A and B are shown apart, each in its own frame.
Chain A
Amino acid sequence: MTPPLTTLPEDLIFNEILPRLPVKSLVRLQSVCKPWQRFLTGPNRRLVSMHLWRHRNKYVMIKHRRRYAPAVHAITLLSRERTILVDSLQIPFESHFRFMRVAGSCNGLVCVTDSEFSGAPELPIILWNPSLRKFRALPRSIFSSVLNTVELHERIGQIVHGFGYHPVLDDHRLVRILYLYGEFEVLRIRSEMYSLRTNSWKEVGEPFYHRFLDATCVASDGVLHWIVSSGSSLHFDFVLCFDLRREEFRRLEMPHISLRSRLGTRLAESAEGRLCLIACTPHEAADDDKMVHVWDLNYEGFVWEKKLSVGPFPRIDRLLGCGLNGEIYLEDKGWLCMIRVVMRLKR
């Protein structure tokens, strides 16, 4: 007969079993014994990376307006697998901001700052880990001091942020673009980058001339993306890209969209980690109904590939984002809506 085995080796417990548990359990398990506490609280990149890998692409986080007072914003966590609401999160320090904005999120870290319109570069930027309920303010940036940044007769127009992760550098980085307006509305653009690894800021190269259009940044494959415009009509829209490794800006043209009727475009990251673009157009038959179109970016050719067109849908106020399992998230008068496209998308 085999002798009874009452426990498992520490190696198996630590490296194979614990990374499968949710963060809340891991926090609780710190009080099991000292070795567990050391393992769970120490600077343990292996546990963190295994945990992230096991739980990758499981959730979708959506920031939206709350329907009820008093809080203005709500963050809702949805499970990608089961399409259920997992959690509704309270945003730390919401009252510190004039108009709170999520600059981006990756690997369970959320970067929260003020709206692009506040024009106040000194407002805090907070890195928030909602699952550990921890947050920290970033050190003051180069441009946070207005005196160093703005020349005489200039004023700060907008400040746009982008937050992403580069797997090769294993670094989370935040990019900040400032739009400075001088006399006769002459535009000057400056940009700076923060690295979590070095916990420091540096100025980075100037982007192409553009006017900011949508402050939402989407990070995918170590590159940050924003929809911007270099002119007054939709013809001039393009996607501004910032390569977090090369630390330089690139330009990506938009896919061909019927310009007359475009109601809204949005970038999103698909479940496979690809960049995709969603656009909304009115339905030909009834203007109140809307069609939704999705493209995704073929990185090799740096070209858009059309994935689908669905609709018509009667109730769309705003596109929020999508998961390429076929879910498209929308806002309709303060309600969070989701369209699930039944057709499975081919890669």
Chain B
Amino acid sequence: MSSSSTTTTTTRLLMLKASDGVTFEVEEAVATKLGAINNMVEEEGSEDLICLPNVNGKFLGMVLEWCKKHANNNTNSDKGNDEVNKWWDKEFVMDLDQNTLYHLLMAADYLSGTELVDLLTEKVASMIRGKKVEEIRETFKIKSDFLPGQEEEIRKKNSWAFE
């Protein structure tokens, strides 16, 4: 730890341990993009190994990849970076299948990665925007619990919204 070299600034490294035992070594500045980690670091101080029993390694890795990108770009105050970040975010969510997207969102939510939750919920919203009611039931695996006739009544009352 205590290196005598003076050129390297001391960046503290944290060990994050996922539910399946996979560990990640990340810079503190990257990991603290996540509100939950930030709280743990502030509260517990010296703890270097953080166990995250609710997040699987695959998705923790993806969350950290996002954090790394955004932490790096934050240190650069260049305005063009904003555009680069947006572009990168777009690519990041573009080809996610539904299962990965849901897992990733749950992980980001659990870790309080507010900006990432924002990005992912917007993606889910864009998937259901303009979709039929039946398709939305399918997207969230919801069974209609209306009695016969009740659903028709709601549709009739709001017929303009179904046009």
Contacts and interface: CB of A to CB of B under 8 A. Distances in A.
Interface of A: 2, 4-9, 12-13, 16-18, 20-22, 24-25, 27-34, 36-37, 133
27 contacts: A2-B103, A6-B99, A7-B141, A7-B142, A8-B102, A8-B124, A12-B105, A12-B106, A13-B140, A16-B117, A17-B121, A20-B125, A21-B128, A25-B129, A25-B130, A25-B161, A27-B161, A28-B161, A29-B133, A31-B133, A31-B154, A31-B155, A32-B137, A33-B142, A33-B145, A34-B145, A34-B146
B122 interface: yes
* Interface residues on chain B, size class: 20 to 34
B125 A17 contact: yes
Dominant SS at the A interface? helix
Contact of B136 (A2, A27, A32, A34): A32
Contacts of B102: 5-8
B145 A12 contact: no
A42 to B, nearest CB: 14
B12 interface: no
B122 A20 contact: yes
Question: Of residues A16, A27, A133, which shows the largest number of chain B Cβ atoms within 10 Å of its Cβ?
Answer: A16
A31 B151 CA distance: 6
A17 B109 CA distance: 13
A31 B134 CA distance: 9
A59 B2 CA distance: 58
Contacts of A25: 128-130, 161
A24 B145 contact: no
Question: Of residues A18, A33, A36, which shows the largest number of chain B Cβ atoms within 10 Å of its Cβ?
Answer: A33
A28 B133 contact: yes
Interface of B: 56, 58-59, 99, 102-103, 105-106, 109, 117, 121-122, 124-125, 128-130, 133, 136-137, 140-146, 151, 154-155, 158, 160-162
Contacts of A30: 154, 158
Given A5-B106, A31-B155, A22 B121 contact: no
Contact of A37 (B105, B125, B129, B154): B154
Contacts of A13: 140
Given A21-B129, A25-B130, A33-B142, A4 B99 contact: yes
A180 to B, nearest CB: 43
Question: Of residues A13, A27, A32, A133, which shows the largest number of chain B Cβ atoms within 10 Å of its Cβ?
Answer: A32
Nearest to B162: A28
A12 B125 contact: no
Nearest to A27: B161
A25 to B, nearest CB: 6
Contacts of A22: 129
Contacts of A9: 106
A16 to B, nearest CB: 4
A6 B133 CA distance: 17
Nearest to A18: B125
Contact of A24 (B105, B141, B161): B161
Contacts of B58: 2
A28 B157 CA distance: 10
B129 to A, nearest CB: 6
B99 A32 contact: no
B160 A133 contact: yes
Given A8-B140, A17-B124, 13 more contacts: A2-B58, A4-B99, A5-B99, A6-B102, A7-B102, A9-B106, A17-B121, A21-B125, A21-B129, A32-B133, A33-B142, A34-B145, A37-B154
